[in-house]
Structure 1
Amino acid sequence: MTLRLRSHLHKLRTTALALCGIWGVATLFAQDEGAASRLSSLEDYLARAQEANPQLDAFEKRYEAATQRIPQAAALPDPMLQVTSFVESVQTRNGPQENALMVNQRIPWFGKLDAREKATSEQAEALWYAYQGQQLMLARMVSKMYYEYGYTQRATQLTRENLDLLAQLEPIVEEKVKAGGDLNALLRLKVEIGKVNDRLQSLQQKRVTQSAQLSELLALPVSTLLPWPEWQKPGLVSPRATSLLESIEVNNPQLQMLERKIASAEARIELAKLESRPDFTVGLNYVQIGDLDTPAMSVDSGKDAWGVTFGVNIPLWSKKNHAAQAEAASSQQAIQSEYQNRLNALKADLASSLSSLTDANRRLELYGEELLGLAEQAVENSRTSYQGGRTGILEVIDSERSLLELQLLYWRAAADAWQQLVAAQTLANQPILGTFQATQSK
């Protein structure tokens, strides 16, 4: 094969590999695009996050790795095989010793292996609950961003509607100016249109930022603009505080993780106590005997020898054992204090979330049932009055601005209510809005 032909084939191979790579990337990108397009409800977002988030996968793999340490902790130490070949043989009555083999097995004191296995198993269980806790943390983060994204959607929609309404007023004001009306009214209207348009542009950029943050949690390309979520006008939500508090003490994964760590520390205390007990070593010796130069001198000439050995270690250094016990006890006490501190913090977090939820419900009721209706009526009256020449353009602008602000406050309260409800439910490990719950069984 000529050099030129080899070069040509190499270029073809390189081009083919590049095309395959591009095709693979394009296929993956298309799959991600398809996954993004199917996202609408909070349940869709949570399902995608639980399936694809790499940080959550890392927690699961840590748990799986920890379970593999359990059989290691429960196993006996490896036996020891020792082979001796005599350079200068030791002469015995049956012949010279040529080779010796020794096999020893160390056997820990009764209960040591069980305590070690229990400590390791409880530690693995702690990692399982850490995995559950990460599930809930991820769900909480996704839910919070989901409702922030939904609020941005409503704010964008309302701002655009307000901009359209103001734009409809512009030709009316221009006609009045042409008829001899005040030019200042038209200037004020144009300034207001510019300010509302600026707000709309900022909201559109905010969407890009929030979409990228959500895409990170969902393991989607940050360049993909996620579709707007689908959430409807909310009603008032009032969860039972007593039920949530009881559920925190029973079901919160962080507390369950610390409980498993306490159980692991108890097993390590027991193991530290058992370290003051001796371990045993049993073995088998086999010695290969060569033939005597004069076999007639012994009927057992060349007969190999073997024997059984038994040993025990002597735990003389009591100070070391006492220190190990004190260390294990202090570790357990530290985890117990950590448990109590975490429980207090969770109760405080729940109280804060419920208080914020109550305030959000109050604002929803205030804006939805009282102020929004009045603001809408004020806008209609001001428009009618302006067209009839009974009021100025400033009153129309103020009423439009007031309605927009109240609408935004209403949907801000709605987003806050849903966010605080999810926060309370994740603290108690209850199903989020009746859909998602952290994994309960292994």
Structure 2
Amino acid sequence: MKYLIRLITTGASLAVLGSCTSGLPFHSTTVPLRQTIHFAGTTVSPQILDSANDDVETSITLPSLENDASLRECLVYASLMSPELKVAFHNWKASLSRIPQVTALADPKVSLGYFIEEIQTRTGPMEQQLSLSQSFPWWGLLEAKGDVAKSVANSKWHEYESVRLNIFQKVVKRWTAVVDLENEISVITDSFELLAQAERIARRSYEVNGTSHSRLVQLQVELGKLEDKLSNLNNLRGPRIAALNATLARNGKDAFNLPSSIHLNVASITLEDAIQLVAKNPAINAHNATIEQHQLAIKVAELDAKPKWTVGLTYTNLGDPLDPTTPDAGNDPIMGMIGFSIPLNQTKTDAAKSEAMSKKLAAIAAKEALLHELNAAIAEAIYQRDDSMRSITFYETALIPRAEDALGAVLVAFSTGTTSAIELLDSQRTLLELQRNLQRSYVAALNADATISKLVGGAVKTELSQ
């Protein structure tokens, strides 16, 4: 870049009646800040969060994106404020509340009876009765129902994790879209200033020496195109920021303090390693929990077909006997009771077991189909990441330096009147296109890495310099 600026300065000194500024503002993507982004955050199991409450969601200070809208801060903000994530979180908490419900015994029964017509007994008339009974399912049934509820809760937890990774990927995509737009505006602004500088040289040369008017017109037309492009890009700011704000659950017009460029070092995970890590994908884990749930449901159906037991006590209040001298006269009797149900309807049990087995087989097939899709998606994402990183290296080390040298040489020749405006415009357009392609490669690499992180369940760590 310094070499290009020296060339431009030299060209300006050779101009007939023109002067150039001593520096040319080309876009630079070198910024010293380095951050480490963990797209998946800390892995927490539902068992650890059994006592989770609403305070969990608000225990972290909310980032101020007006001061710092780095990718890290946006991810933290989304994890705290996203309504989709709150829906998934509360669905998981609701599923945890089912466990004590299905493992609890049925309420005991109390009944009170009054004899409208007293029944005389040897020890006195029966006036009223008080009964207390408790039903018990077959041994192991409540525990099995609790295991089913835990499997449902595990599935809901993995759904929460899946939603979180999806939101993170969406934040990365929309954040890079906004930063990429700002970078494109910066690059085109630099190109506009370069052509404006060349247009001043051409105009003075035309006014003093009467050189070709077509050179001046060509530059002015190109300046008009760039000005129109800048106007369109500036108008696009609002929709891009609104989309990012929507992902972060912010007002569509809320401002950001965004970085002006993207640098990153993506994790060097291979396709073979990524395929091995697919098992950590929350969607796969959710299918595993669903398969376990239906397997346990078969056990529940079998135990539910066993007899259900009832035990109880009945207290009978006796009145005064006709003959007070009768042995045990006036003593209130207490009767123990035990009973059980007789499961005669085997068809109901068979149907419940068949239903659970069919759902289990369906979940196994769905998991297998998802694994194939994830493997294909990972292969595509790793290709996109590797291709983008290759392009970044090629642009930074070869194409852009050569294009800068070429533009500097053409500008020197243009300043002395030995080259046409068309050659200058071609060189400027080439450099502009390469700079934009470089930034697009950064965006593609970051988006691909975020996709990989999502597909392998957040096991990829990405270092981001911005």
TM-score (norm 2): 0.81
Give the aligned partner of residue 23 of structure 1.
none
Q: Higher helix share goes to which structure?
A: 1
2: CA distance, partners of 1:229 / 1:371: 25
- Asked if 2 retains the 8 angstrom alpha-carbon contact of 1:426 and 1:432, the reply is no
Cα distance change of structure 1 residues 241 and 301 upon mapping to structure 2, 3 Å threshold: same
Give the aligned partner of residue 395 of structure 1.
423
- Asked if 2 retains the 8 angstrom alpha-carbon contact of 1:101 and 1:285, the reply is yes
Deviation at 1:187, TM superposition (A): 2.5
2: CA distance, partners of 1:142 / 1:432: 16
1: CA distance, partners of 2:270 / 2:463: 15
Give the aligned partner of residue 349 of structure 2.
321
Q: Which runs of 5+ in 2 are unaligned?
A: 1-60
Code of the residue aligned with 2:334 in structure 1: it is: W
Counterparts of residues 372-383 of structure 1 (less than 5 Å): 372-383=400-411
Give the aligned partner of residue 124 of structure 1.
153
2: CA distance, partners of 1:390 / 1:230: 37
Deviation at 1:302, TM superposition (A): 3.2
Give the aligned partner of residue 11 of structure 1.
none
1: CA distance, partners of 2:460 / 2:374: 17
Deviation at 1:236, TM superposition (A): 7.4
Give the aligned partner of residue 216 of structure 2.
186
2: CA distance, partners of 1:88 / 1:398: 113
| 2:207 pairs with 1:195 | no
Match of 1:51 among 80, 96, 105: 80
- Asked if 1 retains the 8 angstrom alpha-carbon contact of 2:241 and 2:252, the reply is yes
Match of 1:305 among 323, 333, 343: 333
Counterparts of residues 274-353 of structure 1 (less than 5 Å): 274-292=303-321, 294-296=322-324, 298-353=326-381
| 2:216 pairs with 1:158 | no
Counterparts of residues 90-129 of structure 1 (less than 5 Å): 90-129=119-158
Give the aligned partner of residue 416 of structure 1.
444
Cα distance change of structure 1 residues 138 and 88 upon mapping to structure 2, 3 Å threshold: same
Q: How many residues align?
A: 402
RMSD, aligned CA: 2.1
Deviation at 1:144, TM superposition (A): 1.8
- Asked if 1 retains the 8 angstrom alpha-carbon contact of 2:266 and 2:463, the reply is no
Q: Which runs of 5+ in 1 are unaligned?
A: 1-30, 436-442
Cα distance change of structure 1 residues 74 and 237 upon mapping to structure 2, 3 Å threshold: closer
- Asked if 1 retains the 8 angstrom alpha-carbon contact of 2:264 and 2:463, the reply is no
> Cα deviation per residue 1:69-92 (whole Å; 9 max; x = unaligned)?
111111111111122222233332
Match of 2:234 among 196, 204, 209: 204
1: CA distance, partners of 2:174 / 2:95: 32
> Cα deviation per residue 1:212-255 (whole Å; 9 max; x = unaligned)?
22222223222112122365444676422222221222x21111
Q: Secondary structure at the match of 2:462?
A: coil
Code of the residue aligned with 2:201 in structure 1: it is: I
| 2:173 pairs with 1:144 | yes
Higher relative contact order (CA 8 A, sep 6+): 2
- The list of structure 1 runs, each at least 4 consecutive aligned residues, that deviate by more than 6 angstroms after superposition, is none
| 2:164 pairs with 1:135 | yes
1: CA distance, partners of 2:160 / 2:88: 5
Code of the residue aligned with 1:365 in structure 2: it is: T
Cα distance change of structure 1 residues 233 and 61 upon mapping to structure 2, 3 Å threshold: closer
Match of 2:299 among 270, 273, 291: 270
Cα distance change of structure 1 residues 233 and 60 upon mapping to structure 2, 3 Å threshold: closer
2: CA distance, partners of 1:228 / 1:274: 60
Give the aligned partner of residue 413 of structure 2.
385
2: CA distance, partners of 1:350 / 1:236: 15
- Asked if 1 retains the 8 angstrom alpha-carbon contact of 2:312 and 2:337, the reply is yes
Code of the residue aligned with 2:273 in structure 1: it is: S
- Asked if 2 retains the 8 angstrom alpha-carbon contact of 1:41 and 1:231, the reply is no
Deviation at 1:303, TM superposition (A): 2.6
